[in-house]
Amino acid sequence: MAAPAKKAFALRLDPALHAAVERAAAADLRSINAEVECLLREALARRGVRVAEPVRARRGRPPKQEEPQ
């Protein structure tokens, strides 16, 4: 099952804020985009806003299919 497409939009940030997010992303081994998503989810949760869990792509190799005999 494919993950639904993500909504893309332009986000303008102060350079110092971008640098801080970039450092936090590197420390968490995430992309800047993934770090921003994580920070937004955490901030919304603190405010009591519920957000559905994202549909995550399956990782790793698909299971081997047995060949018919």
Instruction: Give residue 26's domain range.
Output: 15-46
Structural domain count, the chain: 1
Tell me: pLDDT of 5 over 60: yes
Residue 19 lies in a domain: yes
Identify the pLDDT of residue 52.
87
Q: What amino acid is encoded at 2 in this protein?
A: A
Higher pLDDT, 68 or 49: 49
Higher pLDDT, 58 or 10: 10
CB neighbours of residue 35 within 10 Å: 19
Identify the pLDDT of residue 15.
97
Residue 8 lies in a domain: no
Residue 6 lies in a domain: no
Q: What amino acid is encoded at 57 in this protein?
A: A
Taking only the tens place, the pLDDT of each residue in 8-50 is 999 999 999 999 999 999 999 999 999 999 999 999 999 999 9
Place of tokens 């985009």: 33
Residue 53 lies in a domain: no
